[in-house]
Amino acid sequence: TDPMLIFEQAREGRRAAAQAPERPTRVPALPEAFRRRKRPALPEVSELQAVRHYTRLSQLNFSIDTHFYPLGSCTMKYNPRGCHAVASEPGFAERHPLAPSTTGQGMMACLHELQDWLTAITGMGDTSLAAMAGAQGEFCGVAMIMAWHAGRGDHQRNEILVPDAAHGTNPATAALCGCTVREIPTGPDGDVDMGALHEALGPRTAGIMLTNPSTVGVFERRIREMADAVHAAGGLLYYDGANLNAILGRVRPGDMGFDVMHLNLHKTFSTPHGGGGPGAGAVCVSERLRPYLPVPQVAREPDGRFRWLQEGDRPHTIGRLSAFGGNIGVLLRAWAYTRMLGREGLPRVADYATLNANYLMARLQAEGFQVAYPERRASHEFVLTLKSEARELGVTALDFSKALLDHGIHAPTMYFPMLIPECLLIEPTETESLAELDAFVAAMVAIREAARRDPEQVRGAPYRLPVRRLDEVRAARQPDLAWRPEAAPDP
Amino acid sequence: TDPMLIFEQAREGRRAAAQAPERPTRVPALPEAFRRRKRPALPEVSELQAVRHYTRLSQLNFSIDTHFYPLGSCTMKYNPRGCHAVASEPGFAERHPLAPSTTGQGMMACLHELQDWLTAITGMGDTSLAAMAGAQGEFCGVAMIMAWHAGRGDHQRNEILVPDAAHGTNPATAALCGCTVREIPTGPDGDVDMGALHEALGPRTAGIMLTNPSTVGVFERRIREMADAVHAAGGLLYYDGANLNAILGRVRPGDMGFDVMHLNLHKTFSTPHGGGGPGAGAVCVSERLRPYLPVPQVAREPDGRFRWLQEGDRPHTIGRLSAFGGNIGVLLRAWAYTRMLGREGLPRVADYATLNANYLMARLQAEGFQVAYPERRASHEFVLTLKSEARELGVTALDFSKALLDHGIHAPTMYFPMLIPECLLIEPTETESLAELDAFVAAMVAIREAARRDPEQVRGAPYRLPVRRLDEVRAARQPDLAWRPEAAPDP
Amino acid sequence: MPFIPHTEAEVRRMLEVIGVRHLDALFDEIPAALRAPPPQGVPEGLPEMAVRRIARRRAAQDRQPVSFLGAGCYEHHIPAAVWQIAARGEFYSAYTPYQAEASQGTLQVIYEFQSMLSALTGLAVSNASLYDGATATAEAALMAVRQRRRDAAHRVLVPHTLHPLYRRVLSTLLAPQGIELTLLDYDPDQGHLPEHALEGVSGGFDALLLPQPNFLGVLEPVDTLTRAAQARGALVIGVVNPIALARLAPPGEWGEAGADIACGEGQPLGIPMSSGGPGFGFLTCRRPLMRQLPGRLVGRTVDLDGKPGYTLTLQAREQHIRRGRATSNICTNQGLMATAATLYLALLGPDGLERVADCCLARTHALVEALTGLPGVQSALRGPHFHEAVLRLDRPVAPVLQALEDHGILGGHDLSADYPELGNALLVCATEMRDEVDIEYYRDSLAAVLNTRPDPVPSP
Amino acid sequence: MPFIPHTEAEVRRMLEVIGVRHLDALFDEIPAALRAPPPQGVPEGLPEMAVRRIARRRAAQDRQPVSFLGAGCYEHHIPAAVWQIAARGEFYSAYTPYQAEASQGTLQVIYEFQSMLSALTGLAVSNASLYDGATATAEAALMAVRQRRRDAAHRVLVPHTLHPLYRRVLSTLLAPQGIELTLLDYDPDQGHLPEHALEGVSGGFDALLLPQPNFLGVLEPVDTLTRAAQARGALVIGVVNPIALARLAPPGEWGEAGADIACGEGQPLGIPMSSGGPGFGFLTCRRPLMRQLPGRLVGRTVDLDGKPGYTLTLQAREQHIRRGRATSNICTNQGLMATAATLYLALLGPDGLERVADCCLARTHALVEALTGLPGVQSALRGPHFHEAVLRLDRPVAPVLQALEDHGILGGHDLSADYPELGNALLVCATEMRDEVDIEYYRDSLAAVLNTRPDPVPSP
Which residue, among C54, C109, C241, C274, would best test binding to B if mutated, counting the most B CBs under 10 Å from its CB? C274
Question: Same CATH fold, C80-343 and C66-73+349-452?
Answer: no
Phi, psi of D420 (to 5 degrees): -60, -25
Assign C319 a pLDDT band (cuts: 50, 70, 90): confident
**Measured between alpha carbons, how far is A112 from A299 in angstroms, rounded to an integer?**
7
Inform me whether the pLDDT recorded for B488 exceeds 80: no
Contact D47 B49 (CB under 8 A): no
Give me chain C's average pLDDT, please.
Answer: 95
Supply the pLDDT for residue D459. Answer: 43
Question: What residues in chain A have per-residue pLDDT under 70?
Answer: 1-2, 487-491
CA distance D214 to D385: 9
Strands (E), B290-426: 297-300, 306-309, 370-371, 382-385, 413-414, 423-426
Domain D67-73+350-452 has CATH 3.90.1150.10: yes
pLDDT computed for residue D367 by the predictor:
98
Contacts of C452 (CB under 8 A, 6+ apart): none
Under an 8 A CB cutoff, do C47 and A22 touch?
yes
Q: How far apart are CA D229 and CA C107, in angstroms?
A: 65
Residue of B nearest to A63 (CA): B52
Give yes or no for a contact between C367 and C439, defined as CB atoms under 8 angstroms apart. yes
Distance CA C65, CA B100 (A): 11
**What is the per-residue pLDDT for D328?**
87
Question: Is there a contact between A19 and D63 if contact means CB atoms under 8 Å apart?
Answer: no
How confident is the prediction for chain D on average, in pLDDT? 95
Burial readout A327-357 (b: 16 or more C-beta within 10 A, e: otherwise)? bbbbbbbbbbbbbbbbbebbbbbbbbbbbbb
CB contact under 8 A, B17 and C3: no
CA–CA separation, D259 and D252 (whole Å): 5
What's the CA gap between C175 and C187, in Å, rounded?
A: 27
pLDDT at D395 exceeding the cut of 80: yes
Q: Is the pLDDT of residue D55 over 70?
A: yes
Measured distance CA(D136)–CA(D237) in Å, rounded: 11
Beta partners for residue D35, in sequence order? A251
Whether pLDDT at B39 is above 80: yes
What is the reported pLDDT for A2?
Answer: 66
pLDDT at C460: 43
Q: Which of B14, B48, B61 should we substitute to test contact with C (largest number of C Cβ atoms within 10 Å)?
A: B61
CB contact under 8 A, A274 and D328: no
Measured CA to CA, the distance from residue D307 to residue D304 in angstroms comes to: 7
pLDDT tens digits for B224-265? 999 999 999 999 999 999 999 999 999 999 999 999 999 999
Amino acid at C26: L
What is the chain D residue with the closest CA to B55?
D89
Domain covering C66-73+349-452 in this structure, CATH number? 3.90.1150.10
3-state DSSP percent of chain B in helix, strand and coil, to 5 = 40, 15, 45
Q: Which of residues 316-335 of A touch C (CB under 8 A)?
A: none
The answer to whether B55 contacts A46, with C-beta atoms less than 8 Å apart, is no
Task: Name every chain B residue with its beta carbon within 8 A of the beta carbon of A52.
Answer: 64-67
Helices assigned H by DSSP within A177-239:
194-200, 223-232
Q: Which CATH class is domain A82-340?
A: alpha beta
Confirm if D353 and A42 have CB atoms less than 8 A apart: yes
Band of pLDDT at residue D458, cut at 50, 70 and 90: very low
Q: Of A263, A265, A248, which is closest to residue A79 (Cα–Cα)?
A: A265
Q: What is the mean pLDDT of residues D127-155?
A: 96
Residue of A nearest to B16 (CA): A431
Start-end of CATH 3.90.1150.10 domains in chain B? 347-475
Q: Where are the domains of chain C?
A: 66-73+349-452, 80-343
Mutation for C interface: A46, A56, A61, most C CBs within 10 A: A46
> How many other CB atoms sit within 10 Å of the CB of residue A393?
18
* Residue D455 in this model has a pLDDT that exceeds 80: no
pLDDT of residue D318: 79
C340-390 per-position pLDDT tens digit: 999 999 999 999 999 999 999 999 999 999 999 999 999 999 999 999 999
What is the nearest CA distance from A451 to chain D, expressed in angstroms?
Answer: 19
Rounding to the nearest 10 degrees, give the CA dihedral for residues A311, A313, A318, A323.
-40
Q: CATH 3.40.640.10 spans which residues of chain B?
A: 82-340
Please state, in angstroms and rounded to a whole number, the distance separating the CA atoms of residues B70 and B64.
Answer: 10
Nearest chain D CA: its distance from A437 CA (Å): 11
8 Å CB contact between A378 and D14:
no
Give the tens place of pLDDT for each residue, C253-286: 999 999 999 999 999 999 999 999 999 999 999 9
State the complex-level ipTM: 0.97
Amino acid identity of residue B478, one-letter, is Q
- Nearest 10 degrees: CA dihedral of A112, A113, A114, A116? 90
The domain made up of C80-343 is a member of CATH 3.40.640.10: yes
Q: Which of B261, B26, B33 is nearest to B140 (CA)?
A: B261
Q: What is the CATH number of domain A345-475?
A: 3.90.1150.10
Which residues pair with residue D432 across a beta bridge? Answer: none
Q: Tell which residue, A1, A11, A22, has the closest CA to residue A49.
A: A11
What pLDDT score does D454 carry?
Answer: 47
Quote the CA–CA distance of B183 and B210 in Å, as a whole number.
11
Alpha carbons B458 and B467: distance in angstroms, whole number: 15
CA atoms within 13 A on the CB side of C246: 22
What is the C-alpha separation between C66 and B321, in angstroms, rounded? 29
CATH architecture of B347-475: Alpha-Beta Complex (3.90)
The predicted structure's pLDDT at residue D235:
98
Label residue C64 by pLDDT band (50, 70, 90): confident
pLDDT (mean) for D332-348: 97
Average of per-residue pLDDT across D113-132:
98
- Residue D321 sits at φ, ψ, to 5 deg, of -105, -55
- For CATH 3.90.1150.10, the residue range(s) in chain A are 345-475
Question: Which one, of A120, B56, B206, B247, lies nearest residue C90 by Cα?
Answer: B56
- Say if residues A355 and A333 touch (Cβ distance below 8 Å): no
Cα R_g (chain C), whole angstroms:
26
pLDDT of residue C321: 78
**Planar angle of CA B97, B100, B105, nearest 5 degrees:** 90
pLDDT for residue B490: 62
pLDDT at C459: 44
**Nearest C-alpha neighbor of C304 from the set B469, A463, D375:** B469
pLDDT of residue C238: 98
Whole-number Cα distances in Å, A272 to A228, A267, A415: 37, 8, 24
Pick the closest to residue C428 from C188, C165, C70, C65 (CA basis): C70
Compute the residue count for chain C: 460
Largest CA distance in chain A: 76
Q: How far apart are CA A352 and CA A246, in angstroms?
A: 9
Q: Is C52 on the interface with D (CB under 8 A)?
A: yes
Which of D1, D48, D89 has the CB atom closest to B15's CB atom? Answer: D1
Mean pLDDT of C7-11: 97
Q: Which region holds residue C149: left if phi is over 0, alpha if psi is between -120 and 50, else beta?
A: left
Which residues are CB-neighbours of B288 under 8 A, at least 6 positions away? Answer: B148, B259
- Cα dist. A228→A199, A201, A206, A257, D322 in Å? 14, 12, 14, 8, 31
